[in-house]
């Protein structure tokens, strides 16, 4: 197993989203790390049914699910047995460039901007 990407954050009880590639080459998208009453666990990809409830769209044997839980939570906490090569960098690939020498930026030339760092809400989750 290999984690293709992991987006960490806090969206309600969700702590991260990630995709997983198996040894056979299948990539399964839509896994979540959830903060439950007994601690963190891996939530399987799910879809919303006609009744408004969410249903798992991927099923595994208990042994496989336990192995997946251990593997992913070790990676999430940064103490995993898997190398960090298996985890892709965050999606924010913006590069901060210094301003050109001809137009220096001073405190007087910068206009105040509106604060855009608002907390995430449950409605921000795509499913």
Is 114 a member of any domain? Answer: no
The CATH number of whichever domain residue 7 belongs to comes to 3.30.1120.40
Half-sphere exposure of 96 (CA within 13 A, CB side): 0
- Candidates 55, 14, 62, 9; CA nearest to 34 is 14
More confident: 72 or 82:
72
Kindly tell me if the per-residue pLDDT of 115 is higher than 90.
no
When divided into structural domains, the chain yields a total of 1
Q: Is residue 45 part of a domain?
A: yes
pTM: 0.58
Quote the pLDDT of residue 94.
41
Q: Is residue 122 assigned to a domain?
A: no
Q: Is 105 among the domain residues?
A: no
Q: Is residue 69 part of a domain?
A: yes
* pLDDT per residue as tens digits for the range 7-61: 999 999 999 999 999 899 999 999 999 999 999 999 999 999 999 999 999 998 9
Q: What would the mean pLDDT of 81-102 be, rounded to a whole number?
A: 42
Cβ neighbours of 73 (radius 10 Å): 17
Its domain, for residue 52, covers 1-82
Domain presence at residue 57? yes
Q: How many CA atoms does the CB half-sphere of 85 hold within 13 Å?
A: 1
Cα–Cα distance, 107 to 33 (Å, whole number):
42
Is 47 inside any structural domain?
yes
């Amino acid at each position: 197993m290999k984690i293709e990407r992991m987006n960490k954050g806090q969206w309600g009880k969700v702590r991260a989203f990630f995709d997983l590639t198996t040894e056979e080459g299948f990539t399964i998208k839509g896994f979540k790390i959830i903060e439950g009453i007994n601690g963190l666990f891996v939530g399987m990809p799910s879809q919303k049914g006609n009744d408004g409830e969410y249903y798992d769209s991927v099923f595994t044997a208990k042994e496989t699910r336990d192995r997946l839980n251990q593997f992913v939570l070790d990676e999430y906490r940064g103490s995993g047995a898997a190398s960090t090569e298996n985890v892709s960098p965050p999606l924010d690939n913006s590069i901060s460039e210094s301003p050109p020498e001809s137009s220096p930026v001073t405190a007087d030339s910068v206009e105040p901007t509106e604060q855009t760092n608002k907390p995430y809400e449950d409605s921000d989750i795509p499913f």
